[in-house]
Structure 1
């Protein structure tokens, strides 16, 4: 058995404590770990109990790392897992932390998807196809993606594509209608709009047909 002979605040982090066993520094713990195990001066610890405390400290470290990442920017569950894996945390710790964060609503793929869609529509002006691909790559469930994107109507999609295309057209120097059609259409497709939307918008702006463009796609 070893006895806790001293507990002190860390100078640079008041939420962490240095633990001394038998007058020698042994380890540091987060405040939550210290409270959980009721660590106090003169408390005696056996090796198994010390091992349990250190395991809890490792998991708390993983939790704090995840919370810090989320405080900087929202992340999907998959993104957070990958960040933690890259940091080298044990798989069991990662799963426990993800479960806890899910219960606390710190991570929520449905809410994340709503925020992501809103941002891409209002800031990047991306089309539904590009947004859908991005969410899929972030590990969002297909059912969630389809449900959240269903709130974006075809009319809204066409209007957004029209405004982008109109602005792009004003900056184009080409005189040839065919070149304008191809360039404008490729621009909208790269922004993530469906072909049917692109065809309607470009035809409306250029008053032309899509025969030549159709042959390219």
Structure 2
């Protein structure tokens, strides 16, 4: 029971400082067990259920918050957002559900990104600018359809 309380205290400190996905929290707890509890992993499942009951970890809410923050501070297309969330260990069904629920105007976001970037490309011929725009937008995770729509808008 003492080791459970130790782990719970540690998990609560983590969860109150920053939002974690279930997979990230489980990884942190495993590391904690290795260092402090001599690899006593039996308590992790019990603790994870408790943290979910207390709503400290919730993959659906984590996805919504992650996407909201990314769109505001580091704009990305849906493809890259999806990939980043999958790398964080979130179930693909949850990721797809959240991406379908959240309204992201990729065209507007891409247009803002291009407007910032194209100022540096004015010295190049238009075909080079288009190539750079295509590469830039695809590296930011925008779909092909969105990229072509943006290229048509920006380079008429």
Fold shared per TM-score above 0.5: yes
Question: Shift of residue 190 of structure 1?
Answer: 1.2
- In structure 1, the residue matched to 2:10 is 65
Partner Cα separation in structure 2 for residue 71 and residue 94 of structure 1: 18
Structure number with bigger Rg: 1
User: Contact between 1:76 and 1:107, CA under 8 Å: does it hold in 2?
Assistant: yes
- In structure 1, the residue matched to 2:71 is 121
User: Contact between 2:21 and 2:57, CA under 8 Å: does it hold in 1?
Assistant: yes
User: Contact between 1:165 and 1:202, CA under 8 Å: does it hold in 2?
Assistant: no
Question: Shift of residue 203 of structure 1?
Answer: 2.3
**Structure 1 residue runs of 4 or more that deviate by more than 4 Å after TM superposition:** none
Q: Are positions 1:165 and 2:146 aligned together? A: no
Partner Cα separation in structure 1 for residue 107 and residue 2 of structure 2: 53
- In structure 1, the residue matched to 2:132 is 183
User: Contact between 2:64 and 2:102, CA under 8 Å: does it hold in 1?
Assistant: no
- In structure 1, the residue matched to 2:53 is 103
Partner Cα separation in structure 2 for residue 152 and residue 180 of structure 1: 31
Partner Cα separation in structure 2 for residue 163 and residue 127 of structure 1: 12
Question: Shift of residue 172 of structure 1?
Answer: 2.1
Q: Secondary structure at the match of 2:95?
A: helix
Unpaired segments ≥5 residues, structure 1: 1-55, 208-217
Which is richer in strand?
1
Q: Are positions 1:139 and 2:89 aligned together? A: yes
Q: How many residues align?
A: 151
Please give the per-residue CA displacement for 1:115-139, whole angstroms capped at 9, x wherever unaligned. Answer: 1111111111111111101111112
Which is richer in helix?
2
Please give the per-residue CA displacement for 1:81-105, whole angstroms capped at 9, x wherever unaligned. Answer: 1111122252211111101101111
- So what's the TM-score if we normalise by structure 2? 0.90
Question: Shift of residue 153 of structure 1?
Answer: 4.4
- In structure 2, the residue matched to 1:92 is 42
- In structure 2, the residue matched to 1:16 is none
User: Contact between 2:138 and 2:147, CA under 8 Å: does it hold in 1?
Assistant: yes
Unpaired segments ≥5 residues, structure 2: none
